[in-house]
Structure 1
Amino acid sequence: MWPFSRLQRELTVAVFDIGSSSVGGILFQHHPNKLPKVLTSARFSTDFLPDLDFQKIQRSLHKTFERTIAALKRRMPKDWKRPDATIIIFSSPYYISQNKVIRFSKPKPFEITEKILEEIVVDEIESFKKKWETEHQPVEILEQEEMKINLNGYQIKKPIGKHALSAEISLHMSLGIKVIQDRLRECIAHSFGAMPLLFRSFPFVAFNTLKDIVDISRDLLVIDISGEITDLMKIKDGILEEVISFPFGENILVRRIASAFNFSLAESSVLLSQYIRDALHAGTKEKVRKIIEDASGKWCQFFKDAVKNSAEFSYLPSDLLFIGGKGALAIKDFATCAKEQPFTSRFLLPEAFKSRFIFRKGFSEDKDISLMISSLYADKLFLEKQPWQNL
């Protein structure tokens, strides 16, 4: 059980972002009456693996996770002991999500009770797990949330106790891979000791954080270009309606630059950063620009194919919000993927978080967007308290 009485003082929270090609970690202090204070952060790349061998991917992930923990411990103030709680957030491909609309009706008005909603959600979760779980690959629920409930066709924010002839529930669910979660639990216990620990998926976390930062009353397509994968998160009518992914991320750009210049991946990543900052000589800049333009065309084809193959994406919001790293900054200027539909593109920059944190070592423009988003979500969880009650 989470000791709620301790929420009246500062608590140290560890947040980890498990991405397709890296692991990030951040430590911040939560206080109910102050902004969260960032103490330190770190991010390391996982091993580049030419083939998708699950055992090798798992070993690389665990090694990088332990390296990230060690870096956080080294960089902490001398009087620091350990976190009070940890949240681990999975990006693609370490989660499976589903958004489902459940409709039911009766000939006579019926009362909406907590029991009715709970039974519906439990049935859907079990069905979702059975669809993806195998004997050798058990799964665990990361989160489930009723995004919206309509009674008799109208959205009702507090449906319990209301009567209706028909109900419609928009339910979001995500699953994680149990063997990976168990191993990460062991790493946390070994490094920090026993403590409350939550798992979440990044699209769910991003949605819940972004709705406090940007206006989601208008439909929005959030594009997260990171590592090996791009995630498309469709927000419609104020809820996270659907998430799809395709295998074309920032690392594709880095590898193409490495091939063209005969550079290492690390050198190519630096060159991409210099291009974004407009810090290259004209000849080099033009060569990189052509690489990015060509790669953006390929990215657009993946984008079109992913959207075409998803019924939920038959309608696309015209407002795009890029939240990735260097890859998103590079691609967004070339990503004119639908000539028949004009898009308005925005990019979520670290500046958006400057007034939402206290930074122990001062604010800088190279802050990790994913870790900032995840930390704001974690901070809000402590204010709400409920997610910790059963830990």
Structure 2
Amino acid sequence: MRFSSYFRHPEKNIALVFDVGSESVGGAVVRRARGDRPTTLCSYREPVPLVRNADPEQLLWQATEALKLVARHLDRFIATDTTFPASERRDFDEIFFVVSPPWYAGKTLFVETREKKPFTVTPPFLQGILEREETALAESFFPPGAPGKARDAVSLLERKIMRLRLNGYETAVPLGKHASHLELSLYLSAAPATVVNRIVGAVRKTFNARRIEFHSLAFVASAMIRDLFAESENFIFADASGELTELSLIERGVILETTSFPIGRNGLIRRLRKDITGSSTEAALSAFRVFARGEGNPEHSEKVRRALSEAEAEWLGLFRKTLAHFSEAAFLPRVLYILAPDPATTQIFRSFIEKSPVGQFTVTAEPFTVVPLSAETLEQAALYGTNTHCDPTMTLAALFLNRIHIEEGL
């Protein structure tokens, strides 16, 4: 079947998806399919240049410029099918964005309502709870007394009821039921409206869409890990791809906690650039990869090890502090899934984690089993077009979009 015929399919099962991180920006043309794996017809990733001091405004500018390049690359791919009408090549029903820190903040809220007399759970009743919590999250982006209305300055990305109990019993169909006690686990993610507008604006220079939807990487990854690894109902998800490391604690399919701290892969590269290679980012990246593979000569490897040791100690301190916070509610699961942009980053952070004594936090008092979310781990979960290979983040996004396709009956 020719590429253009996918676009003419009455089910409109083609979507564009973009992954906006702080280390790189990716994009893909995805064909979704009910009862089958999604197909990534084309994917492309553009690095975000490493800014000197992680200035937020400069970082956002670099990321949106990379996003424009990714959109143009996908546009060129689509244009290779000369039979596809030129007037329709840039108009899509759906464009999805998956964003990573620092572009969003996510939080799970635990809401409880108890009344002396039974109440009926109605749409307005639930809507009132949701709006109240959304406002509180929006206001958390700004200090007290900040000008403007918080809700106007923040864009809500996701609002997902992950668990709901009535009178102590979990239910997936609460509407119309009577109860005197309601417990709600609500996942919310939001981003500054200026960030959302600039991300959308970068793509709209190339493509138009009827529907634009944002999702957080933590939500997408945690949902797909549960689908792909049936035994993993309780786990930790770690993303160390860019400026930050994000950790999410998942229990029985619910994101209990998600937090981030300001040392990720980019911080390690800056340290190498400063201590070993001067101002060359490429030389620092090369040294990083050689060290991760264990291929450098002993003298060079020792220089890299010393350069990374301070960052490693700082990262491990923040990692253990986060785990201690997570463990206040319960013992932690043994399995940790890690997502990183390349094998070198995965190996470095995996070695950090394996050095950290975490037995006191886990149920079995044993170290974490670290599972990389790599191309090797994920490539069988999806299909790929000619000359297209598994990009782990884009594959997770394609699988997530396929699930939405099925759930919405598109």
Q: Give the TM-score of the pair, scaled to structure 2.
A: 0.82
Note if contact 1:40-1:76 (Cα within 8 Å) is conserved in structure 2: no
- Give the residue type in structure 1 aligned to 2:284: S
- The alpha carbon displacement at 1:72 in A equals 2.2
1:147-226 pair list within 5 angstroms = 147-215=162-230, 218-226=233-241
Note if contact 2:359-2:367 (Cα within 8 Å) is conserved in structure 1: no
- The alpha carbon displacement at 1:84 in A equals 3.7
User: For residue 3 of structure 2, what is the aligned residue in structure 1?
Assistant: none
Tell me the SS of whatever aligns to 2:380.
coil
User: For residue 394 of structure 2, what is the aligned residue in structure 1?
Assistant: 371
1:342-381 CA-to-partner distances (Å, cap 9, x unmatched) read 32222222223222222113575xx322221122112222
- Mapped to 1, the partners of 2:208 and 2:334 lie a distance apart of 47
Q: State, as a whole percentage, how many aligned pairs show the same letter.
A: 25
Counterparts in 2 of 1:168 and 1:313: CA distance versus 1, 3 Å: closer
- Mapped to 2, the partners of 1:42 and 1:194 lie a distance apart of 20
Note if contact 1:8-1:32 (Cα within 8 Å) is conserved in structure 2: no
Note if contact 1:111-1:163 (Cα within 8 Å) is conserved in structure 2: yes
* 2:381 is the counterpart of 1:356: yes
Counterparts in 2 of 1:328 and 1:292: CA distance versus 1, 3 Å: farther
- Mapped to 1, the partners of 2:302 and 2:60 lie a distance apart of 39
- Give the residue type in structure 2 aligned to 1:229: L
- The alpha carbon displacement at 1:302 in A equals 1.9
1:304-315 pair list within 5 angstroms = 304-308=320-324, 315=331
- Mapped to 2, the partners of 1:304 and 1:60 lie a distance apart of 32
- Mapped to 2, the partners of 1:298 and 1:182 lie a distance apart of 34
Q: Give the TM-score of the pair, scaled to structure 1.
A: 0.86
User: For residue 261 of structure 2, what is the aligned residue in structure 1?
Assistant: 246
- Mapped to 2, the partners of 1:253 and 1:317 lie a distance apart of 27
Tell me the SS of whatever aligns to 2:352.
coil
- The alpha carbon displacement at 1:268 in A equals 3.0
- The alpha carbon displacement at 1:291 in A equals 5.1
- The alpha carbon displacement at 1:10 in A equals 5.3
- Mapped to 1, the partners of 2:358 and 2:225 lie a distance apart of 28
- Give the residue type in structure 2 aligned to 1:272: F
User: For residue 58 of structure 1, what is the aligned residue in structure 2?
Assistant: 60
1:71-114 CA-to-partner distances (Å, cap 9, x unmatched) read 22234461162444211121101111221111112223333223
- Mapped to 2, the partners of 1:76 and 1:286 lie a distance apart of 48
Tell me the SS of whatever aligns to 1:57.
helix
Moved more, 16-25 or 344-353: 344-353
Tell me the SS of whatever aligns to 2:289.
helix
Note if contact 1:8-1:31 (Cα within 8 Å) is conserved in structure 2: no
User: For residue 348 of structure 2, what is the aligned residue in structure 1?
Assistant: 330
1:286-305 CA-to-partner distances (Å, cap 9, x unmatched) read 65456556643332112123
- Mapped to 1, the partners of 2:337 and 2:329 lie a distance apart of 16
User: For residue 3 of structure 1, what is the aligned residue in structure 2?
Assistant: none
Moved more, 369-378 or 110-119: 110-119
Aligned residue-pair number: 380
Note if contact 1:276-1:330 (Cα within 8 Å) is conserved in structure 2: yes
- Give the residue type in structure 1 aligned to 2:277: N
* 2:372 is the counterpart of 1:347: yes
- Give the residue type in structure 2 aligned to 1:377: F
Tell me the SS of whatever aligns to 1:121.
helix
- Mapped to 1, the partners of 2:11 and 2:70 lie a distance apart of 27
User: For residue 116 of structure 1, what is the aligned residue in structure 2?
Assistant: 125
Counterparts in 2 of 1:26 and 1:275: CA distance versus 1, 3 Å: farther
Unmatched 5+ stretches in structure 1 = 1-5
- Mapped to 2, the partners of 1:317 and 1:296 lie a distance apart of 23
- The alpha carbon displacement at 1:116 in A equals 1.8
From 146, 149, 159, give the equivalent of 1:144. 159
Q: Kindly report the root-mean-square deviation, in angstroms, between the aligned alpha carbons of the 2 structures.
A: 2.9
* 2:140 is the counterpart of 1:131: yes
Counterparts in 2 of 1:57 and 1:159: CA distance versus 1, 3 Å: same
- The alpha carbon displacement at 1:274 in A equals 4.2
Unmatched 5+ stretches in structure 2 = 1-7, 361-365
User: For residue 301 of structure 1, what is the aligned residue in structure 2?
Assistant: 317
